[in-house]
Amino acid sequence: MGQLAIVYATLTRNSKKIAEAMEKTLGVKAENVSTSPVLGEVDLLYIVGGIYGGKSLPSLMKFVKTLDPARVKRAVLVTSCARKQRQDGVRMLLQEKGIEVLEEILCPGSFLFLSYGHPNEGDIQRTADSAARLAEMG
């Protein structure tokens, strides 16, 4: 796999922890969308985010809308949520742009008592390992 990039949006820091574990495993800086990261040419972009009332954070949606399909080839969604929901809004925006979604990796998060205690260290490491395997597959 060529050039990798990691972006994340977070409300309660789970996505930040996941993105930082991926940063270590992949050796690529994880950037918070709140800092308006400017991407170069990217072969595989990891988009890390939670689900809130069934949706992604508006800041993440806004960032994804700015992506240039001439520069970003493919994406992997890394989704942290309590109920195995997915980043469908983000996926739809990517599809509209013609950016292929290679895979969606789910990492347990929590909401009130639902999935309480997650993501734990094991969840986070498993997610980072899955992300790294996709990069190796190319």
Ligand X SMILES: Cc1cc2nc3c(=O)[nH]c(=O)nc-3n(C[C@H](O)[C@H](O)[C@H](O)COP(=O)(O)O)c2cc1C
| Identity of the residue, 43 or 82, whose beta carbon is nearer to ligand X in the bound complex | 82
The CA-CA-CA angle for residues 64, 122, 128, to 5°, reads 35
Query: Three-state DSSP class for 28?
Result: coil
Tokens of residue 61, six digits: 């949606």
Using the contact rule CB under 6 A, the part of the chain among 37-45, 64-72, 76-84, 86-94 near ligand X is: 76-84
| Identity of the residue, 89 or 109, whose beta carbon is nearer to ligand X in the bound complex | 109
Give the residue, chosen from 39, 82, 102, 132, that forms a contact with ligand X under the rule CB under 6 A: 82
Give the residue closest to ligand X by C-beta: 109
Cis bond upstream, residue 119 (ω within 30)? yes
Q: Is 87 in the site for ligand X (CB under 6 A)?
A: no
DSSP assignment string, 81-125: ESS----HHHHHHHHHHT-EEEEEEEEE--BTTBTTT-S-HHHHH
Give the residue, chosen from 30, 45, 50, 135, that forms a contact with ligand X under the rule CB under 6 A: 50
Residues interacting with ligand X, by CB under 6 A?
10-15, 50-54, 80-83, 85, 109-111
